[in-house]
Amino acid sequence: MQLYNTLSAEERAIMIDDAGKQRLTLSFYAYAQISNPTQFRNDLFLAWNQLDVLGRIYVAHEGINAQLSLPADNFYAFKDTIEVYDFMKGIRLNIAVEQDDLSFLKLTIKVRDKIVADGLVDETFDVTNIGIHLKAKEFNDLLEDPNTIVVDMRNHYESEIGHFTNAIKPDVDTFRESLPIIENQLSNHKQDKKLLMYCTGGIRCEKASAYFKHKGFENVYQLEGGIIEYTRQVKAEGLQSKFIGKNFVFDHRLGERITDDIVSQCHQCGAPCDVHTNCANEGCHLLFIQCDSCKSNMEGCCSTECVSIIHLPENEQKAIRRGIKNGNKIFKKGKSEVLTFKNNSDNQTVFGTNEKKPIAIKTPKVKKLYIGKGEHYFPKSNIGQFKIDENEINIGDQLLIKGVTTGEQKITLTEMLVNGTDSKKAVAGDTCTLKLPFRIRLSDKLYKIIE
């Protein structure tokens, strides 16, 4: 009886590509009384592993918190597996704003003390005594009320790339840190102000609203379904999005764009940028914001020290990182002193109340036509091989090669081999090989850019 993931991320990526099925990325949570979290965890793993569910799920005596992906055609079978539990019948499933078949590459279900670590030891605290839920339009309306204080319940690296206008953004690393800071800063407004909160999917606000009511705040509101559901409602109802920038997500995408506003800057040079990356040094993996120019100059690293390390033989790199456990420090290190611009900027406050005017740089999406996917890469000759699934490409076309590791690489097609022969055109069913200045992966997709 298999109760744990046994495949590597690379093996899983290949399987996903080979399966050729569209996947859905979604999230949900539920507070409930679970008497045996370990048994609950095992039952979920057995049911979801059969449905090819992948993701990061936490269960505890107080409920479940899940971010996952699954084949779209298994969606209703998946719903059946959760609705056998009374507390998850009719539960809202937050479908991601942007979909990516490789958002998760493992199924990890962990038993935790709490589904949202709050650091609280208070038996009188009732997590079910929550604030008032608001839909997108109601939330927008309340944002215009001068007696409203809106608070971002996420961490510094999340709110930095996107947030609601005029929101208070606590400069914290964890949810548990934010609770006492907010309570202290707003202690004089427990009766006269409306406390309006939001987070990614709603789970942190659910607990926070109960906490602040417990602490004597009388007018407590929360955004129902968080930023994810807000964005869906804004699009469906034609509302103005009061959220600007990107919504940080905890999967390989690291963010999904909500508006074209860029409200953050590269941590190394200060250029307008809202793209998170992990340092290419396996022993560091620092999460930080890096523009394309710095990514090229620093080879995807956060510091010159890490650049030097990635050029060492693999056995020496392993020796350097042996025994080092980064864990959640990867996120906390977003304030690392090696990040020259981030470290030297003086516009950060403990409570983050200084609102900076968003940098209005538009980043129009590239219009593209799907062509096929990667099949092989020949290192010595710098050649990538692709299978043409649909449409066609011709010499002179602008192509886009996109993947989780590869990123987005644009090239002009000047020569190619089609089924082993020089050709100016490739159509569905063909195998074509291209000279490339970078390595492709089997999970990479090939597109033709449409002017």
The residues annotated as belonging to the active site are: 199
Type of residue found at 170: P
DSSP-derived secondary structure letter, 413: -
Backbone angles phi, psi at 226, to 5 degrees: 65, -165
Whether residue 174 contacts residue 155, with contact meaning beta carbons closer than 8 Å, is answered with yes
Backbone φ and ψ of 222, nearest 5°: -140, 150
Report how far apart, in Å, the C-alpha atoms of 365 and of each of 231, 403, 449, 451 are. Answer: 18, 16, 11, 12
Phi-psi region of 391 (alpha: psi -120 to 50; beta: other; left: phi over 0): left
Residue matched to tokens 């082993």: 420
> DSSP assignment of 132-158, as one string?
EEE-HHHHHHHHT-TTEEEEE-S-HHH
Phi, psi torsion values for 412, nearest 5 degrees: -105, 125
Terminal-residue alpha carbon distance, the chain: 53
Instruction: Quote the DSSP letter at residue 241.
Output: P
Ramachandran area for residue 191 (φ above 0: left; ψ -120 to 50: alpha; else beta): alpha
